[in-house]
């Protein structure tokens, strides 16, 4: 795979040129970008997958939903439906995409919608829901929308500053576009990350003057959740199980579980994988299945004796207060 990526270097140069020209067209006003009366808070990244956008959206919902009527707008990646759609709790992941359905079921008090056309999606939300704040999931590259505030995510150990364009690397946008963000959050950090290393990371990212760089880690819930029962995570130390992941970067989860036990098999699938009947049949032969919440949304009702491990963002130090302070004017 690495050899193929290196051989694809000429294509990455062409991709980078197209991205650069597109961004300059927006910067010069040759391509139009629309602002809205409703504040739009964009969460995105410069790389493909695995930076923790959904946990960040969920963190923002927890922090802001008490003071604002919130709507979340997502593309609804790999759904089989088209156009604008409000997510209902009894929808399937095929109808809406797995992550929007996960958010809707976890926060039934808010509105979640999907539309690949983000401008149309925001217009429909303003018409049908009249939210006070729209969280735009994975919208940093969708420059037809001008957000009031942007949060750019990058992963510890896989910083966009050290990456290259697709398909040789994982970048889907120019590194310099990071300057459009109001804040950069380095996700999936070690919980005990020291100040000296934070300074080194900030030096690599080269934020513009006044741009905040914050740090967060993943916090795993000590409780596993099933359809109608729960299990303490600590019980896995004495129970062999099969871990099923269809996410972009399962390594943090693998590292976390291996601190608890080595007695498990790992079945890895591509991000947003739609499981086949044969794969589901194989999972039903396992004594115990542990999976991510996103995969659980796709597998629920088809696999027995299955639990998911909930994960959330946790900011390091006082970075949560710094972010919330900067959001007060939205």
Are the C-beta atoms of residues 46 and 177 closer than 8 Å to each other? yes
State the total domains in the chain. Answer: 2
* Confidence check: pLDDT of 330 > 90: no
Sign of CA dihedral 175, 176, 181, 182: positive
Give the per-residue pLDDT at 7. 76
Query: Within this chain, do residues 209 and 243 fall inside the same structural domain, yes or no?
Result: no
Query: Cα separations (Å) of 46 from 4, 12, 37, 145, 199?
Result: 22, 15, 26, 17, 21
pLDDT band at 1 (very low <50, low <70, confident <90, very high): low
Mean pLDDT of 134-158: 96
Mean pLDDT of 227-247: 94
Query: Within this chain, do residues 206 and 273 fall inside the same structural domain, yes or no?
Result: no
Mean pLDDT of 105-133: 97
pLDDT in tens, 159-211: 999 999 999 999 999 999 999 999 999 999 999 999 999 999 999 999 999 99
Query: Within this chain, do residues 111 and 173 fall inside the same structural domain, yes or no?
Result: yes
Give the per-residue pLDDT at 19. 96
CA angle 167, 135, 161 (to 5 degrees): 35
* Confidence check: pLDDT of 49 > 80: no
Q: For the domain that residue 295 is a member of, what is the CATH number?
A: 3.40.50
pLDDT band at 24 (very low <50, low <70, confident <90, very high): very high
Query: Within this chain, do residues 229 and 88 fall inside the same structural domain, yes or no?
Result: no
- Using a pLDDT cut of 90, give the percent of the chain over it: 91
* Confidence check: pLDDT of 130 > 90: yes
39: tokens are 């504040």
Query: Within this chain, do residues 145 and 58 fall inside the same structural domain, yes or no?
Result: yes
Q: What is the mean pLDDT of the chain?
A: 95
Query: Within this chain, do residues 301 and 170 fall inside the same structural domain, yes or no?
Result: no
Q: For the domain that residue 55 is a member of, what is the CATH number?
A: 3.40.50.300
Alpha helix (H) residue ranges in 107-207 = 118-128, 195-205
270: tokens are 């591509």
Mean pLDDT of 43-64: 94
Query: Within this chain, do residues 296 and 207 fall inside the same structural domain, yes or no?
Result: no
Query: Within this chain, do residues 99 and 31 fall inside the same structural domain, yes or no?
Result: yes
* Confidence check: pLDDT of 150 > 90: yes
pLDDT in tens, 253-297: 999 999 999 999 999 999 989 899 999 999 999 999 999 999 999
Long-range CB contacts (within 8 A, 24+) of 17-24: 19/165, 19/172, 19/173, 19/174, 20/174, 22/143, 23/143, 23/173, 23/174, 23/177
Query: Within this chain, do residues 183 and 263 fall inside the same structural domain, yes or no?
Result: no
Give the per-residue pLDDT at 324. 96
Closest listed residue to residue 206, CA positions, set 181, 188, 224, 187: 181
Query: Within this chain, do residues 202 and 306 fall inside the same structural domain, yes or no?
Result: no
* Confidence check: pLDDT of 67 > 90: no
Closest listed residue to residue 174, CA positions, set 304, 69, 329, 19: 19
Query: Within this chain, do residues 227 and 176 fall inside the same structural domain, yes or no?
Result: no
Query: Within this chain, do residues 257 and 199 fall inside the same structural domain, yes or no?
Result: no
Q: Which domain holds residue 240?
A: 219-314
């Amino acid at each position: 795979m690495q050899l193929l990526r290196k051989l694809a270097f000429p294509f990455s140069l062409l991709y980078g040129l197209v991205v650069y020209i597109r961004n300059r067209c927006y910067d010069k006003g040759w391509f139009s970008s629309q602002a809205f009366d409703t504040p739009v808070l964009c969460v995105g990244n410069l790389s493909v997958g695995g930076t923790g956008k959904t946990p960040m959206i969920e963190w923002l919902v927890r922090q802001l939903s008490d003071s604002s009527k919130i709507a979340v707008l997502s593309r609804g990646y790999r759904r089989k439906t088209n156009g604008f759609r409000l997510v209902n709790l009894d929808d399937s992941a095929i109808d809406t995409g797995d992550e929007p359905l996960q958010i809707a079921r976890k926060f039934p008090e808010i509105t979640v919608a999907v539309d690949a056309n983000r401008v149309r999606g925001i217009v429909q939300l303003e018409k049908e829901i009249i939210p006070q704040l729209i969280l735009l999931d994975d919208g940093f590259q969708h420059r037809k929308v001008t957000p009031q505030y942007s949060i750019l995510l990058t992963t510890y150990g896989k910083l966009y500053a050290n990456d290259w364009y697709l398909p040789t690397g994982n970048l889907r946008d120019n590194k310099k576009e990071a300057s459009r963000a109001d804040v950069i959050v380095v996700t999936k950090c070690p919980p005990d990350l020291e100040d000296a290393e934070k300074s080194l990371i900030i030096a690599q990212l080269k934020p513009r003057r006044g741009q905040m760089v914050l740090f967060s880690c993943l916090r795993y819930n000590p409780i596993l959740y099933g359809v109608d029962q729960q299990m303490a995570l600590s019980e896995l130390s004495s129970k062999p199980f099969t871990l099923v992941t269809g996410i972009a970067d399962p390594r943090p989860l693998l590292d976390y579980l291996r601190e608890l036990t080595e007695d498990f098999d790992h079945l890895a699938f591509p991000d947003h994988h739609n499981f086949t009947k044969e794969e589901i049949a194989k999972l039903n032969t396992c004594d115990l299945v542990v999976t991510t919440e996103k995969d659980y949304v796709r597998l629920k009702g088809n696999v027995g004796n299955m639990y998911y491990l909930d994960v959330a963002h946790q900011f390091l130090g006082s970075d949560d207060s710094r972010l919330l302070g900067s959001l007060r004017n939205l």
